[in-house]
Chain A
């Protein structure tokens, strides 16, 4: 980033190559809409480009970038079209796969778990979702998440735990329900 600030245009390309993927993943998790996430990736890098002179070397570039992206995502989520419950292809009924053995069972189980996790992640409050994604998926420290979300580290600890705890409970309930359904199905 410092090289880019000094006028090295190739450095901006390097930053884009390094961070556009993780940023797209984060924004897609936040918004559950890839097209909008792509737009916001562009917007975030556009802001980086325009604000390069204001970049403070003491801050990590990734933290600054995630902070920009988080604010963009939170702004986007406040728009009316994002206030409706999320619907995504992840949540639609997947075609039933033939239950032909433990290998398939494990794959189906993993896919169902991932689908359920995506759906439950979308139901979390925005800041909880952001905190969990930044910490558990993007690997930021609590201090970095705090900077990105403009909250205290203590608040991050609480946000991450509440998010993870809610997801754990809901996923455990779903698994319990699924197991019960399987038991009921085999009894009839």
Chain B
């Protein structure tokens, strides 16, 4: 039954759709009329139905009784991990290097989601900083680093914009600038993706492969800044720093021009 006769080709996919009750009534009537006249398609329909019978007959796995408890333990672990990350205790780079759980895998989708969410807060904070304390013409890193965290006003109204895709923030986000940044292969995609739906690219690009050597200097102060703003969880920090750097680069380029 590998070769489908030309006269039956138009019906072939509809055989499955008929089994799945996905055909429109009119098309179904036409197909049934064809089946009355075509033994080949009638036989093929029977073979296709046998597949469903075989699948229905497969033994279903039995969930272990402790599956719910294991999930509860993981949720509790996540909660404690999150509370540690969001702790008001002055964060340092050290707090990032000793998390209670393995670091989540870095993915382009995760970076995109984290980056988009963080962009608004970073931009707001940066604009505030710029208006309060004029930035020096040094490299971008030095312009943010001296700002002590307690002086940073917490932009409470902007916090809801952490939700990816929040429409209110979009006009303020220079995403187009970031996306077109030629010297930034580290920011591969800024499309909004819900992290729970994240599908790794193939092959997944790990941050270790991408490398962010110069961002190490930013880490301590900007982690403090970001956590002060309650912007993101631990795993998002490098993405935020990356975006921060892009903003500062863009500003430096604009100021020079």
Question: A139's closest neighbor in chain B, by CB?
Answer: B20
Across the A-B interface, give the 5 residue pairs with the lowest CB-CB distance, nearest first: A117-B54, A47-B196, A161-B16, A51-B196, A168-B47
Cβ contacts under 8 Å, B175 to chain A: none
Tell me whether A114 and B54 are in contact (CB under 8 A).
yes
B contacts with A, residue count (CB < 8 A): 45
Interface of A is mostly: helix
Q: Is the CB of A46 within 8 A of B75?
A: yes
Take A42-B71, A68-B197 as given contacts and tell me if A168 and B51 are in contact as well, using a CB distance cutoff of 8 Å.
Answer: yes
Task: Output the nearest chain B residue to A118 by Cβ-Cβ distance.
Answer: B58
Also in contact, A136 and B12, with CB within 8 A (given A21-B60, A46-B71, A169-B2): no
Chain A residues with Cβ under 8 A from B200's Cβ?
75, 78
Q: Which residue of B lies closest to A75 (CB)?
A: B200
C-alpha spacing A168/B15, complex, angstroms: 12
Distance between A8 CB and nearest chain B CB, rounded to angstroms: 15
Contact digits for A105-139, partner B, Cβ 8 Å, 1 yes 0 no: 00000100110111001000000000011011100
A71 & B52 in contact (Cβ 8 Å cutoff): no
Question: In the complex, which residue of chain A has the Cβ closest to the Cβ of B198?
Answer: A71
- Min Cβ gap B235→A in Å is 12
* Chain B: minimal CB distance from A31 (Å): 11
Contact of A110 among B22, B52, B57, B70 (CB under 8 A): B57
Q: A51-B195, A141-B22 are in contact. Are A13 and B55 (CB under 8 A)?
A: no
Q: Is A1's CB within 8 Å of the partner chain B?
A: no
Question: Can you list 10 residue pairs at the A/B interface with Cβ under 8 Å?
Answer: A24-B67, A41-B71, A42-B71, A47-B196, A48-B196, A68-B197, A75-B204, A113-B53, A113-B54, A165-B48
The total of chain A residues at the interface (CB under 8 A) is 54
Cβ–Cβ contact B63 & A28, under 8 A: no
- Tell me whether A164 is interfacial, beta carbon within 8 Å: yes
Say yes or no: A164-B51 contact (C-beta < 8 A), given A75-B199, A136-B20: yes
Is A5 at the interface (CB under 8 A from chain B)? no
* CB proximity of A154 to chain B, nearest CB, Å: 10
CB neighbours (8 Å) of A164 from chain B are 16, 19, 48, 51-52
Q: Let me know if B75 and A13 touch, CB within 8 A.
A: no
Contact partners of B47 in chain A: CB under 8 A: 168-169, 171-172
Which of chain B's residues has its CB closest to A28's CB?
B61
Q: Are A71 and B197 in contact (CB under 8 A)?
A: yes
Within 8 A of B (CB), among A22-48: 24-25, 28-29, 34, 37-38, 41-42, 45-48
Flag whether B13 is at the interface (Cβ < 8 A): yes
Question: Which secondary structure dominates where chain B touches chain A?
Answer: helix
B37-65: CB near A (< 8 Å → 1, else 0) gives 00000001001101111111111110110
Residues of chain A contacted by B68 (CB below 8 angstroms): 13, 16, 20
Contact A171 B54, beta carbon cutoff 8 Å: yes
Write out the residue numbers on chain A whose beta carbons fall within 8 Å of the beta carbon of B75: 46, 49
Residue of A nearest to B71 (CB): A42
Find out whether the CB atom of A171 lies under 8 angstroms from the CB atom of B50: yes
- Whose C-beta in chain A lies nearest to the C-beta of B107? A75
Residue of B nearest to A140 (CB): B20
Contacts of B172 in A (CB 8 A): none
Say yes or no for B78: interface residue by CB 8 A criterion: yes
Q: Is the CB of B51 within 8 A of A161?
A: no
Q: Which residues of B contact A74 (CB under 8 A)?
A: 199
Tell me the chain A residues, 134-188 only, with Cβ under 8 Å from chain B.
Answer: 135-137, 141-142, 150, 157-158, 160-161, 164-165, 167-169, 171-172
Closest Cβ of chain A to B28, distance in Å, is 14
CB distance from B128 to the nearest CB of A (A): 27
9 new A-B contacts at CB < 8 Å, known A78-B200, A161-B16, A164-B52: A51-B196, A75-B200, A113-B57, A142-B20, A142-B22, A168-B48, A168-B51, A169-B2, A171-B54
Interface presence of B203 (CB below 8 A): yes
B1-36 Cβ-contact flags toward A at 8 Å (1 or 0):
110000000001101110110100000000000000
